[in-house]
Amino acid sequence: MRTHGGRPAAPRPVIMMTSGDLADEVSRLAAAAGCDLHRISDLRSDPGSVREQWSCAPLLLLDLAAARDCASAGLPRRDGVVIVCPDADPHTWRCAVAVGAQQVAVLPDAEAWLVGALADAVDSPAEAGRVLAVIGGRGGAGASVFATAVAFVNM
């Protein structure tokens, strides 16, 4: 993610929910935590943005519809995925397992926990980067081409 000046932007927690009472409630809780959310309301309209946000957001808050869409999109499992819902029926838990969610936050019971998680996501330092070393065994082995391809894929 880049800002207009070309400097990296600080990753923000992401809310992937359709408009409605649940999304409004999560936005209210984020405001209480002093957190500015990045909102994605339609996952199908911009799959590239969804994939980018999926890999770099410190916290992802999904409703059931978004969890189903993310699971069917084949997004990789990662830490920091939370399903937010008004009730926890068995279907909710199946979606949580399918998308690899670490937590199911049932509102209003989990309001305090969610405010804390949002505050932690904003205050916590950025995750350490990954390092991959590529060494050629001899001249012409293709190490520089391979290193360029790896860098391009992970941009």
151 falls in which pLDDT band (50, 70, 90)? confident
113 falls in which pLDDT band (50, 70, 90)? very high
Domain ranges of the chain: 14-128
Q: What is the 3-state secondary structure (H, E, C) of the chain?
A: CECCCCCECCCCCEEECCCCHHHHHHHHHHHHCCCCCEEECCCCCCHHHHHHHHHHCCCEEECHHHHHHHHHHCCCCCCCEEEEECCCCHHHHHHHHHHCCCEEEECCCCHHHHHHHHHHHHHCCCCCCCCCCCCCCCCCCCHHHHHHHHHHHCC
Top-level CATH class of 14-128? Answer: alpha beta
What mean pLDDT is reported for the chain? 83
pLDDT in tens, 38-93: 888 776 666 667 888 888 888 999 999 888 888 888 888 888 899 999 988 888 89
